[in-house]
Amino acid sequence: MADADISLDAALEHVAGMARTAKRYQSDLARATSSEKDELLRDIATALVDHADTIAAENKKDMASAAAEGMDEGLLDRLSFTPDRIASTAKGVLTVAELPDPVGEVVRGRNMPNGMRLTQARVPMGIVGMIYEARPNVTVDVAALTLKSGNAVILRGGHAADRTNAATISVIGEVLSAHGFDPSLVQTVDPLGRIGATAMMQARGSIDVLVPRGGAGLIKSVVENSKVPVIETGSGNVHIYVDASADLDKAIPIILNSKTQRVGVCNAAEKLLVHRSVAAQFLPRVLDALEKKGVVIKADQPTLDVAGGVSIPGLKISLADDSDWGTEYLALKMGIKIVDSLDEAINHINKFSTGHTEAILSQDYAAIEEFTSRIDSAVVMVNASTRFTDGGMFGLGAELGISTQKLHARGPMGLEELTTTKWVAYGNGQVRP
């Protein structure tokens, strides 16, 4: 089915039916033991590797279509799902299998004066909805996390990855069946087209929580239009601040890794702020290093003045305009600005940041403490690459996304963020006076 083939009412009923089926079998998964879920995940990882060539072949078709439609380099990089990437993603599934099961964990409890015993324990969310773009690895990551945490998931992976996601979900479904679980625990609305995503946003009462993951436009659309509770993941206008006391030799590889290791990801650095006291010494070195990686520079006038005084063949640098400071490039492009103080750097970051990740490169303990306490973002790195903001790197095995909101979950979201809690009160005949 395509968008023109189905009305919104019909799509809503279709999604509601998917959710009803998923809910019926999700209760079975919620009662499964940790060892049963872990064995399921290990077999999913094995099956993904065994079918990697088939999945990658479908991905090549998606890549060719996306390139023909003009998809940019950063998004094409996200869309790519080669056998090596499939194997790496499967390792993430194995890591999730080794993590402690959050379901049933007692968060707190107490004995009441009247003899009642209260416990608050983690339970699955229920039906999780995920809307994302051109990221086949997310299909696997989200499936692993939701299954381990006892949830069912309904996915909308986007037109660009249709074939890849269908092949991946088919493999996961076969393993679910082999373990006695229904394949409806991992479903997709992709055959409905874009109206499937709209129906998911309208499916309050059917889907328990909705997570958007993708570009700023997708996230904004879901947050503003969804009737289903949303955990907001954010785009990444990520900053690095080079302080007056920074170790400049260590700073350059950190900046290069943050900017160029993968450009199409939300934790890639987009802006570089440099303290004026080290700008003349440091900027020629970092500009030369960035030029060698093919990075285009958008700079403030003081940075242009420094660049004009040195010879860096091939450097592509031009004056930034006001819109640059708030833009997530997702490309080999970086904004650079000279600041007069730590205070100016913090104020600039808090003004233009999307609340994702910021980094300070400094050897000054007081400056580091002020930066980490005043920066209003989900993650702050100290003398380390921003590329570490990742569920796998944080020991979560995989991630649902990186939340930039402040309710329930913030930063990389793993198993615990896919649970809610339930109070149970144990009594022996007590009545309220």
204-225 pLDDT, tens digit per residue, is 999 999 999 887 788 889 999 9
**In terms of C-beta density within 10 A (0-12 exposed, 13-18 middle, 19 or more buried), how is residue 16 classed?**
middle
pLDDT, average across residues 194-211: 95
Helix (H, G, I), strand (E, B) or coil at 106: strand
Summarised one tens digit per residue, pLDDT across range 311-329 is 899 999 999 999 999 999 9
At 141 the pLDDT is 94
- The packing angle between helices 83-98 and 52-68, to 10°, is 120
**In terms of C-beta density within 10 A (0-12 exposed, 13-18 middle, 19 or more buried), how is residue 207 classed?**
buried
Give 258's contacts (C-beta < 8 A, 6+ positions apart).
Answer: 238, 240, 268, 269, 359, 385, 386, 387
Cα–Cα dist 242/248, whole Å: 8
pLDDT, average across residues 157-168: 95
Read out DSSP for 288-303? HHHHHTT-EEEE-HHH
Residue 134 pLDDT exceeds 90: no
Residue 364 pLDDT exceeds 80: yes
Cα–Cα dist 378/234, whole Å: 10
**In terms of C-beta density within 10 A (0-12 exposed, 13-18 middle, 19 or more buried), how is residue 367 classed?**
buried
Residue type, 3: D
Token digits of residue 316: 């592509």
Strand 269-275 and strand 238-242: pairing? parallel
Distances (CA, A) of 29 to 236, 238, 321, 415: 34, 38, 53, 15
Cα–Cα dist 33/35, whole Å: 5
Strand 209-213 and strand 296-299: pairing? unpaired
Q: How much of the chain exceeds pLDDT 70, in percent?
A: 99
Summarised one tens digit per residue, pLDDT across range 28-59 is 999 999 999 999 999 999 999 999 999 999 99
Token digits of residue 91: 């390792």
Cα–Cα dist 181/433, whole Å: 46
Residue 166 pLDDT exceeds 90: yes
Band (245; pLDDT cuts 50, 70, 90)? very high
Count of CB atoms situated within 10 Å of the CB of 173: 18
Band (78; pLDDT cuts 50, 70, 90)? confident
At 378 the pLDDT is 93
Q: Which of 141-145, 157-161, 409-413, 416-420 has the lowest mean pLDDT?
A: 409-413
- Nearest residue to 96 via CA among 418, 372, 333: 418
Which pTM value belongs to this model? 0.83
CB 73 within 8 A of CB 268: no
At 87 the pLDDT is 97
CB 324 within 8 A of CB 313: no
What sign has the CA pseudo-torsion 255, 257, 263, 268?
negative
At 72 the pLDDT is 84
pLDDT, average across residues 65-83: 91
At 2 the pLDDT is 45
Give 100's contacts (C-beta < 8 A, 6+ positions apart).
Answer: none
At 391 the pLDDT is 83
**Could you give the domains of the chain?**
3-231+400-426 (3.40.605.10), 238-388 (3.40.309.10)
Residue 1 pLDDT exceeds 70: no
What single-letter DSSP state applies at residue 337? E
What single-letter DSSP state applies at residue 270? E
Long-range CB contact pairs, 17-24, < 8 A, 24+: 18/154, 18/184, 18/187, 18/189, 19/127, 19/154, 19/203, 19/206, 19/207, 20/206, 21/182, 21/184, 22/127, 22/152, 22/153, 22/154, 22/184, 22/185, 22/187, 23/126, 23/127, 23/152, 24/182
- Nearest residue to 161 via CA among 146, 143, 142, 139: 139
Task: Give, for 256, the enclosing helix (H) or strand (E).
Answer: helix 248-260
CB 269 within 8 A of CB 259: yes
